[in-house]
Chains A and B, each alone.
Chain A
Amino acid sequence: MKTCYLPAYAIADLIKTRQISAVEVLEETLERVRDVDGRVGQVDASQAQSKEDLSSVHAFTTLADEHARGQAEKIDQMVKAGESPGPLAGVPYTAKDIFTVKGIPATAGSKILSNYVAPYTATAVERMETAGAVMIGKVNLDEFTYGSSSESSALKPVPRNPWDTSRVTGGSSGGSAAAVAAGEGAISLGTDTGGSIRQPAAFCGTVGLKPTYGRVSRYGLIAFGSSLDCPGPLARNVTDAALVLQAIAGEDPRDNTAAVVPVPDYLAELEKDIRGLRIGLSEEFFRVTYFDADTGELKENPIDGEIKDAVLSVAGFLAQLGADIVIDVPLPHSKYGIPTYFVISRVEASSNLLRYDGVKYGFRTDQPFEDLRELYRKTRGAAFGVEPKLRMLMGIYLSAAQFDKGYYQRALKARALIRNDFETIFDPKGNYRLDTLLTPTTPTTAFPIGGVYGDSVLMQYSDQLTVTTNHAGIPGLSIPVGFDKKGLPIGAQFLGPDYSEGLLLRVGRAFEKVTANEEWRNRRPPLLPAND
Chain B
Amino acid sequence: MTDKISADVFKRLVDLASLELPEGESEYLRKELNNQMVSVEVLESIPIDAETGTAAHGIPYTEMNSPVPREDITRQDPHREDILKQAPELEDGYIVVPDISHEELD
Contacts and interface: CB of A to CB of B under 8 A. Distances in A.
A487 interface: no
A256 interface: yes
Contacts of B53: 413, 416
A418 B5 CA distance: 28
B48 A370 contact: no
Given A342-B39, A410-B44, A386 B67 contact: no
Contacts of A298: 38-39, 42
Given A291-B39, A393-B33, A414-B46, A256 B88 contact: no
Interface in B26-70: 28-29, 32-33, 35-36, 38-44, 46-48, 52-59, 61, 64-68, 70
A485 interface: no
Contact of B59 (A335, A418, A473): A473
Given A296-B38, A378-B20, 10 more contacts: A253-B67, A260-B65, A298-B39, A342-B40, A370-B99, A384-B19, A390-B32, A393-B14, A397-B13, A498-B59
Contacts of A212: 59
B67 A361 contact: no
Interface in A490-508: 498
A120 interface: yes
Given A213-B59, A377-B19, A410-B46, A258 B67 contact: yes
Given A120-B82, A386-B29, A393-B33, A414 B43 contact: yes
Nearest to B51: A413
A300 B87 CA distance: 50
B95 A360 contact: yes
14 contacts: A227-B57, A257-B57, A257-B61, A260-B67, A295-B1, A298-B38, A339-B40, A339-B41, A361-B86, A380-B17, A386-B32, A400-B13, A412-B54, A416-B52
Interface in A239-277: 251, 253, 256-261
Contacts of A339: 39-43
Complex A-B, nearest 6 residue pairs according to Cβ-Cβ distance, in ascending order: A473-B58, A296-B1, A119-B82, A473-B59, A361-B86, A381-B20
A497 to B, nearest CB: 10
B22 A381 contact: yes
Which among A393, A406, A455 has the greatest number of chain B C-beta atoms within 10 A? Answer: A393
B55 A342 contact: no
Nearest to B80: A119
B101 interface: yes
A457 B35 contact: yes
Nearest to A260: B67
Contacts of B79: 119-120
Interface string B87-106: 11100000101111100000
Contact of B13 (A213, A342, A396, A419): A396
A253 B9 CA distance: 42
Interface of B: 1-2, 5, 9-10, 13-14, 16-22, 25, 28-29, 32-33, 35-36, 38-44, 46-48, 52-59, 61, 64-68, 70, 79, 82-83, 85-89, 95, 97-101
Nearest to B53: A416
A358 interface: yes
B20 to A, nearest CB: 4
B65 to A, nearest CB: 4
B64 to A, nearest CB: 7
A400 B32 CA distance: 19
A11 B84 CA distance: 40
Contacts of A470: 58
A144 to B, nearest CB: 14
Contacts of B87: 359-361
A77 B84 CA distance: 35
Contact of A409 (B18, B19, B54, B66): B54
A120 B80 CA distance: 11
B99 A413 contact: no
Interface in A152-170: none
Contacts of B40: 339, 342-343, 398, 407
Given A256-B67, A339-B42, A456-B35, A417 B52 contact: yes
B38 to A, nearest CB: 6
A394 interface: yes
B59 A372 contact: no
